[in-house]
Structure 1
């Protein structure tokens, strides 16, 4: 535990430094709330520095068990640190509400307990966006380098040279990390420039760029992207949400090795074909049932489909009133998520591919019992341990989902709120369905127990479930 807290203390110092940015923005705006971020930064810096000094000791060898503990400790402590400015501000924020808002930001979920965002201090809005942006780069990094090593839910199929923990691989790891950070910053800046060129204010463009690339979904306006009323901005968001939902390792391949493998990647092609098909089907539904012009229907369908399937959670309209067919589509899309090694949440496309390949093999064996048909992911043969990891992940996912629904129902929430609240937290999407937590609502009406529970579920879903659940087993703590 000491080495994990020691490393987490360095992350605390980084977060303390980032708090100075909204403090400077408050000073520039002439708001007295700059002291909230200044005091938060000073307190977090002092405590984190004390942790670095007092907890320092020789680092243990990196083992899967240490990896599980380190990942969970970093994310849990970061959620607490991120909540401090919310607690010290004048916002009507309970302790559970602050943790919920911070966890939602860092896990790039996008659910919120805040309302009247249009009249809120810019420093708070910036802090929410910054937390999502930092959470996005964080999950890409551990998804690319750590999860394959920990053999989480079939992620070992994406283990590359950069996942090797040998001394020989260290230079490759450093170069890939630098390329990853450069790409993440570059596409964020590009997104902000495009938003500003299309009519957003500079502040809105910066904040929305950070929450778009991170597929987080926090907006500066209560109406989310419905505030802008510009189809060009919606299509720009569609493009950059898809950029955030694709495997960043493929971008690194382009930058470091000059290999353009994006369109030939089986997972990417499945993802793009899927969202295109669903968009067209939903657009035709809107055109026929709501008498919306087909071009506008395609725009609205594309934006909201991509927003949900990439687990961003923006909304341009209250799609909960589009009818039962659309309701069902969005409920299903919430589970799917984007590609592995991206900023998205959800179950991920590659797991569905592996499960459908297994289902196909099962049908073949019913007809030809002795047929030898290996599972394949593109041109790669899926090993048995990868298949086992995927199946175990699905079992864990739906067990946690079921218990979460029961817990929210016992707390007094109606069935739709419990059903979609647990789902949107576990898949890190953001808005649920229904009148309470739907696209036009928020989570402010939920009680403290529900907020704490959903905060834990968001972290659980963000860290691929097993990373956190393993900490609650006796075998993990056995010497």
Structure 2
């Protein structure tokens, strides 16, 4: 199929999503009005205007009457996310005169819930743009496509392939269209509850709103350069822990609570595993802080629970500097960042569901080694026996994604080390930042900064994009552009 013909199939659906994004992205203009930042009105208004213009053009593209294949949905999702980062960068370019690459980095970090930043001074940034960063993370947390399903549900492509191609949303709810509006309500209710919880710490409403938006989205942007330590508020740190965990839980549990009044957190393996990982991380980090760093018990407990939660939920908040951590403690946090939160949540990382399936697959493989070749060893997943041929396909696909994650981290680390070859670089810090970006975490050692090379900045942009969509949609897009879509 010709590339233009291929694009004509997906163009109307992308355009429809962009037009709805134009409506949603108009909200930050209210901040401009409230705080009287009129110089930011035009830069911020350009975002919904561009979404509207581009969307209106795309919906008018003539498209052939043929069934949309999975590759079309994957390509569309990859294009939607990258285009959103390009459009989202406009206020930073026009309003702050940021370099184009830095602005795209900032927007991609926002949409993908990563939380790494290249802003030169967050405290001096206009409130309109600070809220825009938080709002991008909030929208990106549940997924750009997922957030427009309720309004664009008449599109057959969106109903199935497009929605399910968006990496973090695949297990959100059992029925895409039928529960679209419920998705909006659930996310808004949880966000409002989070704002109320954060307000109990005594921080101002402005700070509470932004912190809650980025915490429930497991994003990690802050409205101060110093981040969470700026507040010197131990109660705030404690209250953010349940908000981060709430964002990393499988959202289908909230749907069951909302629609069936059924609470089943401890009946879901991902939820139980998330809490177990958090507890393990808390114990290990606390012990390291006490015995390896000499912290007092209260400081060790406070930093241990916060950083363990921020690591496993892929939230970029941090209440301590990683520069003083022992190497073994930093490596442990890297493992947590790599695992990430639950599938169907706002969290990044490999996902707990893939870790569980990978361990089940390894156990199944070893059991088959020690029995007769004629013996049938059943594969059980989530309490059900799965047919052998289906199990082999699903386990293989799962292991392929895991391998792709490791390969991506390896090659991007090598590339960035080459880009920074003229400077003195600690390779362990590069590895940490690459994992943080690829797993959309955002916890930083300080390596990511505006002085990075041009190549390194773009490597991180692609890392965040790849990680947010779990690699495959972006690979399909690149392969189609290179080899064609036939």
Q: TM-score range by the shorter chain?
A: 0.7 to 0.9
2:128 to 123, 140, 159: 123
> Residue 102 of structure 1 is aligned with which of 84, 100, 107?
107
Q: For the residues of structure 1 that align with 2:294 and 2:459, how far apart are their CA atoms?
A: 41
Q: Determine the C-alpha separation between the residues in 2 that align with 1:30 and 1:360.
A: 61
- How far apart are residue 56 of structure 1 and its match? 5.5
- Where 2:86 maps in the other structure, the secondary structure is helix
Structure-2 residue corresponding to 1:398: 406
With normalisation by structure 2, the TM-score equals: 0.87
After TM superposition, list the pairs within 5 Å mapping 1:11-50 onto structure 2.
Answer: 11-37=17-43, 39-41=45-47, 43-44=49-50, 47-48=53-54, 50=56
Correspondence for 2:384: 380
Which residue in 2 is equivalent to 1:65?
71
CA offset digits 1:216-266 (Å, max 9, x no partner): 110011121111222221121110111000111111122112332221111
C-alpha deviation, 1:178, in angstroms: 1.6
Counterpart of 2:484 in structure 1 is: 477
Q: Does the 8 Å contact 2:172/2:345 carry over to 1?
A: no
Of the three residues 328, 333, 351, the one matched with 1:330 is 333
For 1:416, the equivalent position in structure 2 comes to: 428
| 1:276-425 matched pairs, under 5 angstroms | 276-370=279-373, 372-382=376-386, 383-412=391-420, 414=425, 415-425=427-437
Which residue of 161, 185, 190 maps to 2:188? 185
Give distance in 1, aligned partners of 2:84 and 2:169: 24
C-alpha separation in 1, matches of 2:20 and 2:101: 24
Alpha-carbon displacement from aligned partner over 1:394-419 (angstroms, at most 9, x marks no partner): 12222222221121122125323432
Change (3 A) 1:375 1:274: farther
> Does the 8 A contact of 1:23 with 1:37 survive in 2?
no
When residues 199 and 59 of structure 1 are mapped into structure 2, their CA distance, relative to the original with a 3 A threshold, is farther
Q: 1:260 aligns with which of 238, 259, 263?
A: 263
**Separation (CA, whole Å) in 1 of partners of 2:296 and 2:124:** 33
The alpha-carbon deviation at position 136 of structure 1 amounts to: 0.9
Report the RMSD for the aligned CA atoms in angstroms: 2.8
Using the alignment, how far apart are the partners of 1:155 and 1:88 within structure 2?
32
Deviations 1:367-417 (A, max 9, x none): 435454333333134522211110111122222222211211221253234
1:112-151 pair list within 5 angstroms: 112-138=117-143, 141=146
Unaligned runs of 5+ residues in structure 2 are 1-6, 150-157
Residue 82 of structure 1, aligned match among 76, 81, 88: 88
Deviation sequence 1:165-207 (CA, Å, 0-9, x none): xxxxxxxx33322222111010111111111232111111111
Shift of residue 421 of structure 1?
2.8
Match of 1:168 in 2: none
Partner SS, residue 30 of structure 1: coil
Kindly state the Cα deviation for residue 87 of structure 1 after the two structures are TM-superposed: 0.7
Q: Secondary structure at the match of 1:473?
A: helix
Kindly state the Cα deviation for residue 58 of structure 1 after the two structures are TM-superposed: 6.4
Q: Distance in 1 between matches of 2:51 and 2:478?
A: 30
Contact 1:154 1:351 in 2 (8 A): no
Label 1:29 to 1:405 Cα distance change in 2 as closer, same or farther (>3 A).
same
- For 2:154, the equivalent position in structure 1 comes to none
Conservation of the 8 A alpha-carbon contact between 2:137 and 2:217: yes
Work out whether residues 17 and 41 of structure 1, in 8 Å CA contact, stay in contact via their aligned partners in 2.
Answer: no
Mean CA deviation greater in 24-33 or 191-200 = 24-33
Distance 2:205 2:293 in 1: 35
Give the conservation status (yes or no) of the 8 Å contact 1:80–1:102.
yes
Distance of 1:154 and 1:42 partners within structure 2? 24
Separation in 2, partners of 1:41, 1:97: 17
Q: Given the superposition, is the C-alpha separation of residues 353 and 41 from structure 1 closer, same or farther in structure 2, using an over 3 Å criterion? A: closer
- Cα deviation digits, residues 51-84 of structure 1 (max 9, x gap): 1553264665343122112111211111111011
TM-score by length of structure 1 reads 0.88
Name which of 192, 198, 202 aligns with 2:201.
198
Residue by residue over 1:101-130, the C-alpha shift from the partner in whole angstroms, topping out at 9 and shown as x without a partner, is 101100101111013212221111001001
Q: Distance in 2 between matches of 1:331 and 1:285?
A: 15
User: SS at 1:368's partner residue?
Assistant: coil
User: Separation in 2 of the partners of 1:257 and 1:445?
Assistant: 52
Q: How far apart, in 2, do the equivalents of 1:248 and 1:155 lie?
A: 9
Give the Cα separation in 2 of the matches to 1:374 and 1:239. Answer: 38
1:461 corresponds to: 467
User: How far does residue 426 in structure 1 lie from its aligned partner after superposition?
Assistant: 1.3
Matches within 5 A, 1:239-250: 239-250=242-253
How far the C-alpha of 1:297 sits from its partner, in A, is: 1.6
Q: Secondary structure at the match of 2:219?
A: coil
Question: Separation in 1 of the partners of 2:169 and 2:24?
Answer: 31
Give the unaligned 5+ runs of structure 1: 163-172
The corresponding residue for 1:166 is none
Equivalent position SS for 1:363: helix
Task: Go from structure 1 to structure 2 and tell me whether the alpha carbon gap of 1:145 and 1:248 turns closer, same or farther (over 3 Å shift).
Answer: farther
